[in-house]
Amino acid sequence: MTDRRSRVLGSLYGLLVGDALGVPYEFHPPSALPSLHEIEMEPPPGFWRAHRGVPPGTWSDDGALALALLDALLEEGRPDVAAIAARIVAWARDGRFAVDGEVFDIGGQTGTAVSRLERGVEPTEAGGTDEWANGNGSLMRVAPLALWHQGTDAELAEAAHLQSLPTHAHPRSQVACAVLSLTLRRILDRDMGPEEALEDAAAVLEAHYAARTPFADELQGLMYAPQRRAPTGSGYVVDTVWSAMHAVRGRDFESTLRAAIAFGNDTDTTACVAGAIAGALHGIDAIPPRWMQALRGREIVEPLATRLLVRH
């Protein structure tokens, strides 16, 4: 049996390792990627890597904003949207939670939201609400919420919504964050497999959203989306959920991350979300030691990981 401590650490480090592993392969179609066994922190010779000046083993905005969320939760002791928003701005402008303090990748919707926050827009109003503003920028950071949270499922769902608002306020993005959060909880607490965990999470959310039509409709849309059958690894929030779920299905940690990256396109975020799920399933010891050793920024994450374990 994998104990809870191992699962919590596995999920936290799994998302960081997945993000870092996916960084060099971002923006490439599947046909342009190396073969599965060649996918490593350092791509094979001759591969035209994304973010060429970034050292191997460096996490991107995904990992930095996940740590920003975790820091806000640990510091405030509750999901505080103003504290979360302040850390998002501190990352974008000052490089907080970024490896070497360098910000090299920021999504368009997050960048717009940061500008709005700096102009004094309330954190609950800063995120995009248009249907086209459903990138995966809040989904990629939400996993630490599930690792930290100790309240009810309803409270976890609402906290997942809340942390999404500063950058991605459309109900679809909020629902996707709630689905992932409740799925991770079921893997951690009930030792469910990922598919069973997601279906159970969706059933709980269906009841929770019963009187809230926009959220109920978005949950149905996510669960029956065409991406469930044919994910493509894009930056669309619904596609990211199903790409990560396809990658983790029936695979160990290493194979999960390689399968996530093999979708191409938004490789770091797909592998980040898949890494959080696979780490929760298999525990910290399932992450290949060579990937753990290659992970940079350990001085940033280790104090946060220690504080998270104290909470448990």
CATH number of the domain where residue 73 is located: 1.10.4080.10
* 8 Å CB contact between 72 and 83: yes
132 within some domain: yes
The pTM for the full model equals: 0.97
Least Cα distance to 308 among 148, 152, 141 occurs for 148
Closest CA to 68 of 53, 83, 52: 83
Q: What is the pLDDT of residue 257?
A: 98
Residue 114: inside a domain, yes or no?
A: yes
Tally of domains within the chain: 1
From first to last of its 312 residues, what are the pLDDT tens digits of the chain? 469 999 999 999 999 999 999 999 999 999 999 999 999 999 999 999 999 999 999 999 999 999 999 999 999 999 999 999 999 999 999 999 999 999 998 999 999 999 999 999 999 999 999 999 999 999 999 999 999 999 999 999 999 999 999 999 999 999 999 999 999 999 999 999 999 999 999 999 999 999 888 999 999 999 999 999 999 999 999 999 999 999 999 999 999 999 999 999 999 999 999 999 999 999 999 999 999 999 999 999 999 999 999 987
Is residue 42 one of the residues assigned to a domain?
Answer: no
C-alpha 93/C-alpha 274 separation (Å) is 28
98-103 contacts, C-beta under 8 A, 24 or more apart: 98/64, 98/297, 99/58, 99/59, 99/64, 99/296, 99/297, 99/300, 100/58, 100/296, 100/297, 102/54, 103/61, 103/64
92: its two tokens: 């974008």
Q: Is residue 49 part of a domain?
A: no
User: Looking at the domain assignment, is residue 54 inside a domain?
Assistant: no
Placement of tokens 């598919």 in the chain: 195
The 3 state secondary structure assigned to 53-69 is CCCCCCCCHHHHHHHHH
Question: What does the alpha-carbon distance between residue 72 and residue 234 come to, in Å, rounded to a whole number?
Answer: 28
- 45 domain-assigned: no
Residue 41 lies in a domain: no
Name the token pair of 287.
Answer: 């992450």
CA distance to 10, 11, 33, per residue, from 277 (Å) = 9, 6, 23
Which structural domain, as residue segments, surrounds residue 150? 4-36+59-311
| Per-residue model confidence (pLDDT) at position 211 | 85
Q: Is residue 222 part of a domain?
A: yes
Which pLDDT score, from 0 to 100, does residue 1 have?
47
Residues comprising the chain, all counted: 312
- 3-state secondary structure (DSSP) of residue 236: strand
Nearest-angstrom CA–CA distance, 22 and 264 = 9
